[in-house]
Amino acid sequence: MTVNELKNAIEVQLQAGGCETPAFDALCLLEDIGGVGRGKVEMSLSAELPNDRSYAVLEAAKRRADGEPLQYILGTWDFLNLTLEVGEGVLIPRPETEMLCEIAAKKLSKTSGAHVLDLCAGTGCVGLGIASLKPDVRVTAVEVSEQALYYLNRNRARYPALSVTAQKADVLTDYDTFTEPVDAIVSNPPYIPDADMPSLQREVQHEPRLALAAGDGYRFYRVLAEHWTQRLKPNGFIAVEVGIGQSDTVESLFRNAGLHHVCSVKDFAGIPRVVFGRKE
């Protein structure tokens, strides 16, 4: 099959399967699975793909049409200026989380050699993202899931120049094992109420429940505010990603924990997405 024939066939298949972005997903599959190369599909439409590559693309398209996330099928995903490995068992990095990294890096701009805790680290996207924006930081990435730790360590190995270490621990219970004061705590914790889990789109249903569900939605924020903020140095800060409609409650938790300068930052859609607080 030519690239164009394959592209058209995949788009029809993905559209029929309910994929929201069939053209984009078809391009990604042809580029990465078909080996056409990034940005080269349109100039390669008349080229013939070898049978084995055509078969691999069609198989990948079937998985995508059945609801498997594109990121899992490709095996990697871009985040800031990084390319991270992803797969079953780990949360997929998202554009909203890039903002968390950018805010934290900016807040650390005048702190040399800062130590940062990345809690519920998953792929390591937050810790690695901050370190890529401010290379002199030292990040401890904390994660409890063995599956997620696999990807965290794979991604650390992809960027050995960044000072990011991994530590297995449960953020909800193991806070007393961390005694070293830190300059910043960052986290994109689970924040979806258990009751909302069945209504999530089918792609999200493939992601690990451990990285998504959080009781009433605030389980992790309560522990972060009550226990982890005690690990902050004077003038240290915490910055967390929050779900839609959660910012006011998380702000209150931070204020009740004695933090100052508490505020929320809106994402590109105008939704309060990052809550920040500083210890005095």
Q: What is the pLDDT of residue 181?
A: 97
Average pLDDT over residues 200-228: 95
Q: Please give the pLDDT value at position 3.
A: 87
E-only strand ranges, 112-152: 115-119, 138-143
Helix 95-107 to helix 125-133 angle (10° resolution) is 50
pLDDT digits (tens, 9 = 90+) for 96-147: 999 999 999 999 999 999 999 999 999 999 999 999 999 999 999 999 999 9
pLDDT in tens, 140-180: 999 999 999 999 999 999 999 999 999 999 999 999 999 99
Instruction: Give CA–CA dist 161/164, Å, rounded.
Output: 9
CA dist., res. 116 & res. 99, Å (int): 16
| pLDDT value of position 92 | 97
Written as one string, the DSSP assignment of 230-259 is GGEEEEEEEEEE--TT-HHHHHHHHHHTT-
Q: 35 pLDDT exceeds 90? A: no
pLDDT at 207: 94
Interaxial angle between packed helices 219-226 and 247-256, expressed in degrees from 0 to 180 and rounded to the nearest 10? 20
Q: Which two tokens stand for residue 74?
A: 């490709």
Query: What does DSSP assign to residue 261?
Result: E
Model pTM? 0.93
pLDDT band at 27 (very low <50, low <70, confident <90, very high): very high
Question: Which amino acid, one-letter code, is at 141?
Answer: A
d(CA 183, CA 153): 23
Q: Does residue 36 register a pLDDT over 90?
A: no
